[in-house]
Amino acid sequence: MARSNSYHVCVVGLGSMGMGAARSCIAAGLQTFGSDLNPVAREALAGAGAVAVDADARGFADRLDAVLLLVVNAAQCKAVLFGEDALAARLRPGTAVMVSATISAADAKEIAVGLAEHGLLMLDAPVSGGAAKAAAGEMTVMAAGSREAFDKLRPVLDAVAGKVYEIGEEIGLGATVKIIHQLLAGVHIAAGAEAMALAARAGIPLDTMYEVVTNAAGNSWMFENRMKHVVDGDYTPKSAVDIFVKDLRLVTETALSLGFPLPLASTAYTMFANASNAGYGKEDDAAVIKTFAGIQLPGVKEK
């Protein structure tokens, strides 16, 4: 077990990514606090060795050197920092806030302005890698911010990241890189679902199709990870359909602001939106395959 030190960090949002990041901070010896509305998640982190957990972080805000925000969207980031519970007002000046939700560049800039009014540092630092990489302390971080913010958050970055890409100083650059990354991720899932749906229609066993693709040139990380859920008939959400509805909306809105066409991303957004409207929004994002008619999928009852 890593030797503890005097650096205090709070992870806000203890979902699959946040829980892994918090456990990685504990493993690295950081004095780790946790905040989440879910009492089960709070209890789990307390059992893993957190100094303290609570539904909000105000009670220990004045002890923190850093905050890592791993909530779902910009609205949640703003609610945590500036809403009714107003964490930003409780943090000591000079505290660094690492905003790792997938949000727009405009929202990142707005949050940075609000934090600066309280004398707080911000790192615009979305992450990728999924629950497994988060648990292993090997997330990929795409970050933008001042050198002071990077330096203040170095213990956290060392604890949670396998790779840290320093995109630049301008807030919003990190958010934009993550949005472009999500374009690829969403299109890959949608294309993988389409391919596996076609295989099902053709009567090809999906486990065979999966083995062929994952050992051939058509493979991608997202196909290999998400289409295994289809083969197993397991749509327990690691990342839900509604997450990609949100992320691909950010992709298309970014493109619209730049006057740039994105035909594949637009189609993928429509596929995920259709899946959400069909009632699959809270299921794993691989459930986008369920919108294809005329096929039988493992573990899915015919309607």
Exposure string for 241-251, b = 16+ CB within 10 A, e = fewer: bbbbbbbbebb
CA angle (250 as vertex; 247, 256 as ends), nearest 5 = 150
Does residue 178 carry a catalytic annotation? Answer: yes
Can you give the chain as a three-state secondary structure string? CCCCCCCEEEEECCCHHHHHHHHHHHHCCCEEEEECCCHHHHHHHHHCCCCEEECCCHHHHHHCCEEEECCCCHHHHHHHHHCCCCCHHHCCCCCEEEECCCCCHHHHHHHHHHHHCCCCEEEECCEECHHHHHHCCCEEEEEEECHHHHHHCHHHHHHHEEEEEEEECCCCHHHHHHHHHHHHHHHHHHHHHHHHHHHHHCCCCHHHHHHHHHCCCCCCHHHHHHHHHHHHCCCCCCCEHHHHHHHHHHHHHHHHHCCCCCHHHHHHHHHHHHHHHHHHCCCEHHHHHHHCCCCCCCCCCCC
Contact 92, 62 (CB under 8 A): yes
Taking Cα atoms as reference points, which of 195, 181, 187 lies closest to residue 268?
A: 187
Catalytic residue (one of 78, 109, 133, 178): 178
**Type of residue found at 299:** G
Query: What are the residue numbers of the active site?
Result: 178
